[in-house]
Structure 1
Amino acid sequence: MTLEIFNKYESEVRGYIRSFPVIFERAKMAEIWDETGKRYVDFFAGAGALNYGHNNPDINAALIDYLQHDGIGHALDMGTVAKKDFIESFVHNILEPRGLEYKLQFVGPTGTNAIETALKIARKVKGRKQVMSFTNGFHGMSMGSLSITGNSYYHDESYGVPGYTTQVPFHKYLGDKVDTIAYLRKILEDASSGTELPAAIVLETIQAEGGINVSGEQWLRDLRQICDDFDILMVADEIQVGNGRSSDFFSFERAGIKPDIVTLSKSIGAGQPMAMVLLKPELDQWSPGEHSGTFRGNNLAFVSSSVALKKYWSDDSFSKEVKKKSKLVQERMEKMALRFPEYIREIRGHGMIWGAEFKNPEMTGDVCSQAFEDGLVIETAGAGDEVIKFLGPLVITEDLINEGFDILEGAVEKVGKKQ
């Protein structure tokens, strides 16, 4: 096995191949094999894009049938049978049962496209240029998305990232004793705070790349109230923590709130590239063609997602199954923290996204590398890569969860002995 062709011809920007330096050949649900036949348990799920697993058989069967019958592949924003089926499935299985009323806007197929669209329509509707986001938030790699992303690693002054953004403290960013909601309210109501009234406040209710920081339910309700009080749009970035990752379809459901705008990507396409913006009907103030894109609305993703929505979200049985698995993940995280208190500072998470923060950030990379060598795909998160993150497919079996954590614990032990 050699990576010579990648090293010779592919840009230096490549990242994951450095963490997982093999050539993968095939995958099934929550297992992956490289070209030598070595098997890996998947605790990564394509960075959250594969909640329904690799090569889900029902999804694959629908895609094969669609292609064999010459189904429409590319149609810009024209009407297709695949899009019609998806809209009906999404409205019937997701929006209506939750009492949500949104217009659906299909945008370019990545999460940052959805964020850019949300920023654009929020500023247009409110007639204000300022936008607020939160410390440790991550929202994408294009210019508008970067302007509301906290981690300085992704910024460079020469990029010319647009201004008119303000980062404010996330829940518990300043510790348990500081009320960050009270801080936010104060700077918004104080005319001498130097803060302009924003068009929107953008947040992940569970910060994934930022280190698995989980906002409290009351904190979210208080933030919703601030948005109402000051006529600010709440934009929920559900790109990684939506699509069932929290065990509910949307991560904001647990707080009983309704954002004004919701961005979706990653697993909304059920393995195919897709992004979508949900916006309250009164916010849909676009003129025809005012915001466009050649690949807005991927028909193969419509087919994949329709299958996933009907199979997994037609009732609450899948959600209950995910909640059961999430308890196992939490138990295994707690067990690992108790076994290695000299290395692990704390664990935190919700649903099927959990993280273990290490006291020595340099140790996390070594642990993930050792785990990969031992047959587990897992990555780090946090501003200093100080957190090891569980992000397995939602369809992963309990046996594979246990196998993966056995490998992870073994990796911590091996690396610890070398310290």
Structure 2
Amino acid sequence: MNNFMEFESEVRSYVRSFPTVFERAENAVIWDEQGNEYLDFFAGAGTLNYGHNPEQVNQALINYLSNQGILHSLDKATVAKKRFMEAFYQTILMPRNLDYKIQFTGPTGTNAVEAAIKLARRVTQRSNVIAFTQGYHGLTMGSLALTANDYYQNQSYGGRANVYHAPYDGYFGSSINTAEYLRQLVEDSSSGVSIPAAIILETIQGEGGVNTAAKEWLQDIEKLCKAHDIILIIDDIQVGNGRSGEYFSFEFAGIKPDIICMSKAIGGGLPLAFTLIKPELDQWQPGEHTGTFRGNNLAFVAATELLKNWTTDDLSQEVHKKGCIIKDYLEQLVSAYPELDMSVRGRGMIWGLDIPQPGLAKQLSRVLFENNLLVETCGKDDHVVKLLPPLTIDSAQLEEGLRKIGFGIEELINREMTPLHHDIPFTNHF
């Protein structure tokens, strides 16, 4: 690891949490250069929903490269792009009765967010944008203003001009309906909160601590947007692409956002990002929002192959079944260790184990790495262990990884791996 410490910037992050040199990977398993095998409950922070190196994707990429397929094209028309757009419309949009134009942005999630808020301000001719407490939308200048955590902020960056952070669903517990709270602010001309160009939200706040919004809350936010011609933007970058159990994380609520931001898992590990825009909002002038790498043809090839997972509802059913396994096991850990005052939240196959004791979640993630399981922490104080295994993980591997979490908690309490006093059995969901 000395080369990384010597040559790479101090801004490096995940290498500090997982201090080894990785070499190869397959589905939910990743090996380092020493041959050590790790279960991956991190999955590229939700980028590898379909696992590492899906065979059909690798073969499609090899075939494309073998035929001298175009790699770089700006936003010129290519066969790879055409095939992806046709597959996306036929497989994802049409069955859900959704009508959107696709805007390919720079190949990162934060650029999709930048494009979304820029377009919302252009269309409405308003500047204010409402985001939410504990939200995370990226770290470039526009999306940084929307990101709530002070860790990423510095006055020299320019602050949060023209952004208001409203309380997310459940921020005050169950005593206050924060959708109604926000409605009063927007509709009261003396509140100091001007009618915004857009409201942007995550239906499940990944980096914010795996906070989940209720169906009714999302519906109320959509009603507020419709009543005041506010553009509703859903940031589905981490929790879209099936992570919630449905392809889009908002489907369960029956809402239809004006703009959807997509990235991460859509390219199967290759950089790709885009916004989905309702046609009447597509008011860009040619080249008004651009970028050198807004046409990643290799990612188009990979994404087209991965869309085949959604021609039936088999994957969705698997995600819900595996999600129940995760939820049940974590809740049993909560019951087994009442002294830790833990709690569980999540949906589909994104789950958080909230451990309020300061520093304990971070310690647990280190112990789990030492025992060959990759997990990350999230939340304002890194107090939540976040589980993001590939959607395609084998059920036996899923259960093995969950048991490692139980072993890890036991080790932290007893400072030894055995004997395990809280052996948590699995409920069979298959």
Q: Normalization by structure 1: what TM-score?
A: 0.98
Give the drift of 1:162.
5.0
Aligned equivalent of 1:400, options 397, 409, 413 = 397
For 1:316 and 1:369, how far apart are their aligned partners in 2? 36
Does 1:339 pair with 2:332?
Answer: no
1:309 is matched with which residue? 307
Q: Give the share of equivalent positions with the same residue, in percent.
A: 51
2:380 is matched with which residue? 383
Give the drift of 1:344.
4.0
Does 1:273 pair with 2:268?
Answer: no
Q: Any idea what SS the aligned residue of 1:262 has?
A: strand
| Paired residues of 1:343 and 1:358 also in contact (CA < 8 A) | yes
| Paired residues of 2:146 and 2:160 also in contact (CA < 8 A) | no
For 1:254 and 1:376, how far apart are their aligned partners in 2? 31
- The 1:36–1:344 alpha-carbon spacing in structure 2 relative to 1, beyond 3 Å, is farther
For 1:394 and 1:387, how far apart are their aligned partners in 2? 20
Residues 403-414 of structure 1 aligned to structure 2 (within 5 Å) = 403-414=400-411
Does 1:227 pair with 2:238?
Answer: no
Structure 1 segments, 4+ long, off by >4 Å, are: none
Give the drift of 1:180.
0.5
For 1:76 and 1:205, how far apart are their aligned partners in 2? 32
Residues 6-85 of structure 1 aligned to structure 2 (within 5 Å) = 6-85=4-83
Give the drift of 1:397.
1.0
The C-alpha deviation readout for 1:112-167, integer Å capped at 9, x for no partner, is 00000001000000000000000000000101001011100000111124510000
Unaligned runs of 5+ in 2: 417-430
Q: Any idea what SS the aligned residue of 1:361 has?
A: coil
Q: Which amino acid aligns with 1:400?
A: Q
Q: Any idea what SS the aligned residue of 1:393 has?
A: coil
2:179 is matched with which residue? 181
| Paired residues of 1:133 and 1:168 also in contact (CA < 8 A) | yes
| Paired residues of 1:264 and 1:277 also in contact (CA < 8 A) | yes
Give the drift of 1:418.
4.5
For 1:324 and 1:162, how far apart are their aligned partners in 2? 41
Does 1:349 pair with 2:346?
Answer: yes
Q: Which amino acid aligns with 2:312?
A: D
Q: Any idea what SS the aligned residue of 2:4 has?
A: helix
Q: Which amino acid aligns with 1:307?
A: E
Aligned equivalent of 2:281, options 270, 280, 283 = 283
Q: Normalization by structure 2: what TM-score?
A: 0.96
Unaligned runs of 5+ in 1: none
1:259 is matched with which residue? 257
2:168 is matched with which residue? 170
2:212 is matched with which residue? 214
| Paired residues of 1:143 and 1:162 also in contact (CA < 8 A) | no
Count of aligned pairs between the two proteins: 416
| Paired residues of 1:144 and 1:161 also in contact (CA < 8 A) | no
Q: Which amino acid aligns with 1:155?
A: Q
Aligned equivalent of 1:319, options 300, 316, 325 = 316
The C-alpha deviation readout for 1:214-233, integer Å capped at 9, x for no partner, is 00001111110000111100
For 2:214 and 2:201, how far apart are their aligned partners in 1? 13
